[in-house]
Each structure stands twice: as C-alpha cells, then as structure tokens.
Structure 1
C-alpha cells in the first residue's frame, strides 16, 4: 500500500461562523483541518491567535486548526469537505469550489434550512453542483459554544451509503462528541430546518410569558408538524423522534444560546424581524426556513398550523399575540394519526 493511502485524511470546513468554527476546532483533535473564512483578516486571526473574535469571542480554538481565505486552496487539499455556510450562499460557494474539488470525495452539509427560491435541501444542491460526490448531512442538538467548551453532545451523520457515513463517523467523533450514523438524509435535513421554525415559536411563547406548559405544547406539536412534512417528503418517521428531530427541537427551543429562540422572544417584545436581522452577522435560518417550510407544507397538503403562523409573523408582520390567538383557534383532533 502506498504511503499516500496511509496518510491521515485532511478535512476542509467551508464557513467560519459559530458552528463551522466550533466543528472545525473539535475535529482538529483527530486530523488536519483547514477552515475557510471569507475575510482574510478573520482567517489570519484564527490561525495565529486561535480565536474567532467575530463569532466565538473568548473561546479558545484548537492550536492545530488553520484557516485560509483562499477557497481554491482549501478545496484542493481536502479529502472531505464540510459545508458550514448559510443556506442563502450555499450554492454560490459550492459553484466556486467545484473546479478545485478532487473527484469522489464526500461533501457534508452542516446547514439547517432550505434553499431560498427552490426550497431544495442542501444535499440536493450538492448533488447538482458537485455531481458524483457522496452528499450527506451532519445535524443534531449542537449549540456551538457548548460543544467548543467540551460539554457532551451528540449528532447524526446521514449518507445514502452507510459505509461512507461510518467512515466519516470515525473521523469526527471524540469522547464527548458522540456521532451516530444513518441513511435517512431527507429526514435529518428536514428536522434540522423545521426545528428552527419551532424555536422561533417557542421563543415567542417565552417572550409572552405563556409558561412551560405552552412551551411543551409548541415543541411537541411542532415536532408533529415536522414529522408529517418529513414523511411526505420521503423521510423516515422514526428520525423525527431522535436527535435530529425532537432532540434538536428541544435544545434550540429552550437554550438561551439559540439565536432563533432569542429572535422569537424579541419579536414577542415588539421588535420587528427587519430590525433584528438587519446588520447582524449571526444568521437566523428560521426566518428563511419558515417561508420555505410553509410553501412545502401547502404543496404537499400537510397540516402545519404552527409553521403557518410563524411564517405570517416573519413574512407578513403578524404580531406574536395574533399568532397565538390563531393557534388557539385550531380545533384539536386525534393526537397520533394511525397508519
């Protein structure tokens, strides 16, 4: 066997936001990782000071983690590419990467949402921009600051080829970062997108002071909507009871570190989506996901009243109180549908 085959695989993480940076720092314990940052100054600071002051100030990064602002060089060295850019720039960045990516290497998405306009999942975008590459998703309840601080967490890596998922699992897991495998790519992606919409609703409830019973109601019925939509799109219903469904929905809906929950709370306190998102470097994927999820639910004939009301809030200016009055008018039926 040649020495080239024996060398440790190299990973490139594309996107130096909070989760992309935390994930890259985590995996740098296991193998060489190069993190792509759009801004040269940020890439330099990550490489020299081992900190990302823009997104994770005060959180030290692994000393072996290196960063670059050259997209071409970051792609050329990679044996695995992990996409950690927001959904609205995902296709554009992939298209720029494509000429520099070596054949057949896996491409894994960390993004949680649908593409604006097309409403496609990120693995569908990968398959279109990088045909022939195994496309997958890594998702779960992974709040970046907690993972970076070494607190235990778990996630799922889903690939259509289970053997590829298992190989990637061995590269990224640590003693405190548990990685499960699966083949339900659709279910994992739908769960990651819709949980952000649920988190906005939960944050609105907290902002209105409605109590823990209401928050539990929103999370559980939100996951029911997620499940109905995910199954209609081809996902496995069991996926939504696990880490990437209920698990991620709980973490994102209750944690003060959750951007989407915080957004919902501030909306309930009278702020508009425009003033909350304008000029912010943090991406609230739930705002975009609400419109796409509502559209998909309508197209597929899926009943999703929470999604409908949150979309009306973030897209049409409905207030949080109006949204909750609308939800209370929904007549409850059988909780668990047979079949």
Structure 2
C-alpha cells in the first residue's frame, strides 16, 4: 500500500465489480487533480458510463478535460451532454455529482455550479468504471478518492464530505481512499490484508480458472482483494469483472496500450490496499490454503520474500493444436491413465482442434 494518489496517464482505466444497481438517486464524490492540458478527445472520463442493455435506460459518465467538466448520459444508441461547466484547474478539486429523481446537480469545492434537466430516460445508473474506457477516452491526472452513495445527498451533507461525513454510512455503496488505502463496500469498511495482483495478456480462459481457484480460498474473503492488471488484451478479458460474481473483492485495471509486465505490476501496486502483496500469474491454479500460507509466513517473520516457484506442478487444462508431438504423446498417456475420454475430446485431439480438459467443477472439488 503506497498511500499516494492514483495516477492516470490517459492510457488506463479501472473497473470495479458490479455493485451499481441503484438507479435515479445517487451521489459521487471525487477528489482529483486533473491534467491542465486539454486532450483532443472531447471525453476524458473520470467515470466512464456503463451502457445499459435495457431499452430507454442510461449510464452516467463524468468527463474532465482541461478546465471543462461534462456530465453525460449514455444509452444504447445515444450520448447526451446534460451538464457542461468550467472551473479553475490549477489545484485539487472536490467534485460532487448528485442525482435526485433523475435530475443532476454538480458541486465544485462545496459550491453548486450547475444543474441539469430531469433525464428523459426511464432510469439512470451510476458506473464503476473509473478513468476511461477501451476506446481511449481516458482521464489524465491524479485521484485521491472516489465514493458513491445510493442516495441523493443534500447541500448540508455535500459541505461536510471533506470532513469524512461518510464514516459508518450504510448508504455508501462503494468507496476507495487511495491515500490511506481504505475501501468501503455496501456500507462496510473492508480490511484488505492481502492484495493478489495478477498480470495478464490474452489469457481469458486461463485467468478465469485461476479466479475460480481463488474462490476456493480458506482465507477470509473480506480480508483479501484480487487485482487483475490487463496489458491491453484483445480477447474477452475486459468483460471478466462484469460477468463473474466472485465473493472476494475484484478489481480490473487495463492499459489500452501494451506497456509490459513490470509496469502493469506497478499499476496494480498503486491501487493495492493490502499490506501484503502477492503476485500470481494468470495461468496458475492454487490450492485453498494458498493465501493463508503466504499470509502466515509474513506474520511469523518480518522483511521476507515468499516464493512458490519451487513447488509448481504442471497441469494440462486444455489441448491446443500448436502442441508439439511430444506434448500430445504425454497428454494422451496421462489421460489414458487418469481419465475416461469422451468421444468429443478424442475427436478434437485427433483432428487438432482446441478443447478444454478442465472444468469449474474440477477446481471446486479439487480433483485437478
């Protein structure tokens, strides 16, 4: 945990597990230092709108570009600007966006600066995508904290936000204070003792299996977080945090341009809340005591590095047509000993077609 603002270079964004089902009445508070230079794109999303698939519903986005702030409502087929405002971008600002019965109000440093019209959409939803999107409409600057309430805060509450009036507020849907590492989820403060950082690139099926193995951990689910750091994957990896409701805290960080494994790991560290960091590759399946073993080792002795690479075991999780003849021979031998092959698997291997050999059930019952 670095205890410093989260820096966005205009290339990356962060996705949070979908907790944002509350509509029409909600409040964002963001403490940010935007970049001073205006980007070519008119949208530089501090909060990127998540487009709803439901007819006549919209997601809310907040763009800060130079000294210009725009609040957007984004539906399946249109993007509307509902607030356009300007501000002094010479210093840190506290931006508060309040939606009350679908009507937006924008505050800067405790002062009301703009009010929009009541939305024409049936419902307006907040978003958990921070800093940009895959289209490159990304925020440049620093973020100290972002908080989201499932209620419309009044003027008096807005004025008190810098005094941490959000403490013990059951309506606080989600919050992350990057200066002290504090995370709130559904009104509860999360004590993330361990951050598992997983760098990946184009390994969607593999990382999904790894996440299922982390779901089997004996370590308290409220005391660890998993941070996927995606180095610009072209496969389904960006959808992984939206489509899979794991019980542990999952965060997705994406760099739209490939910047390499060390830099991606550093992005993960920037966003980590745990005092213990575990790096885990996307194709590794772990036993249920994996996090507990790491945690116990660090608790027992200070200033140590724990490495698990001496006890790795190979597992065939899938067959791929690019396997060498030796790999195919070894796979066939192992499967003759340990599996009753289905006709489909045998045919796929014989015809050199990809096939998965491992299922989620194999992970949850530990038969792998």
TM-score, reference length from structure 1: 0.35
Higher helix share: 1
TM-score, reference length from structure 2: 0.33
Q: Which has the larger radius of gyration?
A: 2
Higher strand share: 2
